[in-house]
Amino acid sequence: MHDDHHDDPHAPLAHDHPQTEFEKRVDAVQALLIEKGIITPDDVRRAVEEMDSRSPALGAKVIARAWVDPAFKGRLLANAKRAIAELGIEFTQEAALFAVENTEKVHHVVVCTLCSCYPRGLLGYPPDWYKSLNYRSRVVVDPRGVLKEFGLELDANVEVRVLDSTADMRYLVIPPRPAGTERMDEEELASLVTRDSMIGVARARTPALQ
Amino acid sequence: MTPRFKPGDRVRVRADSPPGHIRTPKYVQGKTGEVAGIHGAFRNPETLAYGRDGLPKQFLYVVRFDERDLWQQYRGSPRDTLLVDVYEHWLDPA
């Protein structure tokens, strides 16, 4: 193997933007916490690594199990943290977790109007739009209009329930199982469950036509 | 420790803006809704935010409002609701 990558042209390494006041403050607080022995750099690294390991695939696994196993769905609706632990998923957030079910008659959509509360332990980082002032301020006032912008038009006879997650409870939406999936196994079903369907701004994918 | 309210109770959210960190959105303050459920007791984030212990724990309720009671111009169905998590010290009987 020859070592030729030193010749690759690339821009000089540099910060891609000047540090903001918030970044400076975070760095200063982190440096103080380390200096005082309250946390170590390895604690910070492990916390970042743990957070980065979470993704909507975890939530999709939970939903697929709920679709194939009604008893599991019952336990998920009754005590979500305990139910996901059955699948080996530890919800490490201190907050509690609550599952709600979307049906033909009731549609839940989740928001945090105060900040960006989100079931990160199950879905990973929230999408940028979830944190945007636009979504947070409008979905509570006009949920049907906002859902329509996401491409989801709900019948007038569907009851819309907006869940404002302001405190210590995180919400997971169980989307309805799409039609035409009767023969699919759990893994195939999980591939139909999108992040957005677990927030309530979309339906699960429908299977590709054979 | 027992919750002050039970599901079905009518409650009004206090209209208050104390200085500092609060977890009750302005748009439900002063509005009347119904207790839909009790999530349990949690340490109070409004004191936790200042490095205190957050004790005593506060009961956290999910309170249901008719969207039409929140927004005069609400355009959706009259059955549409909004559910928001509110700590007990923000609620009065209505």
pLDDT at A208: 78
pLDDT at A5: 56
Q: Which of A83-92, A94-103, B63-72 has the highest mean pLDDT?
A: B63-72
Closest CA to A110 of A172, A57, A41, A43: A172
Chain B residue numbers with beta carbons less than 8 Å from the beta carbon of A162 are: 67, 80-83
CA dist., res. A173 & res. A153, Å (int): 17
Closest CA to A203 of A81, B57, A194, A13: A194
CA dist., res. B91 & res. B94, Å (int): 9
Write the residue in B24, B27, B85 that is nearest to A169 by C-beta: B85
pLDDT tens per residue, chain B (94 residues)?
899 999 999 999 999 888 888 899 999 999 999 999 999 999 999 898 888 999 999 999 999 999 999 999 999 999 999 999 999 999 999 9
pLDDT at A199: 98
Chain A residue numbers with beta carbons less than 8 Å from the beta carbon of B40 are: 96
Write the residue in A144, A159, A167 that is nearest to B87 by C-beta: A167
Chain B residue numbers with beta carbons less than 8 Å from the beta carbon of A159 are: 77, 79-81
A112 tagged catalytic? yes
Write the residue in A98, A158, A166 that is nearest to B84 by C-beta: A166
CA dist., res. A34 & res. A91, Å (int): 26
b/e per residue A70-109 (b: at least 16 CB within 10 A) = eebbebbeeebbebbeeeebebebebbbbbbebeeeebbb
CA B36 distance to own-chain centroid = 11
Confirm if A112 and A127 have CB atoms less than 8 A apart: no
Closest CA to B86 of B62, B64, B69, B67: B62
In the predicted model, is pLDDT for residue A3 greater than 70?
no
CA dist., res. A206 & res. B7, Å (int): 37
pLDDT at A2: 53
pLDDT at A7: 61
Domains parsed from chain B with CATH numbers: 10-93 (2.30.30.50)
Confirm if B61 and B50 have CB atoms less than 8 A apart: no
The per-residue pLDDT for range A11-43, each reduced to its tens digit, is 667 667 888 999 999 999 999 999 999 999 999
Assign A6 a pLDDT band (cuts: 50, 70, 90): low
A116 tagged catalytic? yes
**A159 and B62 in contact by Cβ < 8 A?**
no
Per the CATH hierarchy, to which homologous superfamily does domain A56-199 belong?
Nitrile hydratase alpha /Thiocyanate hydrolase gamma (3.90.330.10)
pLDDT at A210: 47
Chain A positions touching chain B (beta carbons under 8 Å): 96, 98, 113-114, 140-145, 156-169
According to CATH, where is 3.90.330.10 located in chain A?
Answer: 56-199
A165 tagged catalytic? no
Comparing alpha-carbon positions, the chain B residue that sits nearest to A137 is: B27
Write the residue in A96, A143, A167 that is nearest to B80 by C-beta: A143
CA dist., res. B38 & res. B54, Å (int): 19
The alpha-carbon gap from A87 to the nearest alpha carbon of chain B, in Å, equals 23
Percent of chain A beyond pLDDT 70?
92
- Find tokens 């939903």 and name the residue: A63
Rounded average pLDDT over A110-122: 94
